[in-house]
Amino acid sequence: MNISFSDEALQWFKDEMHIERGDFVRFYVRYGGSSPLHESFSLGVNKEEPIDIGAKTEVDGTTFFIEENDLWFFSEHDLFVNFNEKLEEPSYEYKK
């Protein structure tokens, strides 16, 4: 599985989460909300150290990752992180 970003989304992470070279940012499954892939589950994000990386990408020295036990959520889709200008926050697309 691949994780990719638009330039605007990456800038949001730098500005709002204050990420910098050497940081780890985890995308994780949380109960609540909804997604196009699973009703009652949505994607969360947090700065934290990895335990068991299932998928990752490194951008500008920051590692963005998904733990192995959260890969089920993506149902063999790639994650594309875009930026919603109207809401001024990241948006997530799941692409097969």
Tell me the DSSP string of the chain. Answer: --EEE-HHHHHHHHHHS---TT-EEEEEEEEEEE-SS-EEEEEEEEE---SSEEEEEEETTEEEEEEGGGGGGGTT-EEEEEEETTTTEEEEEEE-
How high is the pLDDT of residue 96?
Answer: 87
Segment 32-75, tens digit of pLDDT: 766 766 667 889 999 999 999 999 999 999 999 999 999 988 88
Residue 31 — pLDDT band, cuts 50, 70, 90?
confident
Residue 89 is part of which domain span?
Answer: 3-95
CA atoms in the 13 A half-sphere facing the CB of 20: 1
To which residue do tokens 């995308």 refer? Answer: 27
pLDDT at 22 over 80: yes
Q: What is the count of structural domains for the chain?
A: 1
What percent of the chain clears pLDDT 90, i.e. is strictly above it? 78
How high is the pLDDT of residue 81?
Answer: 96
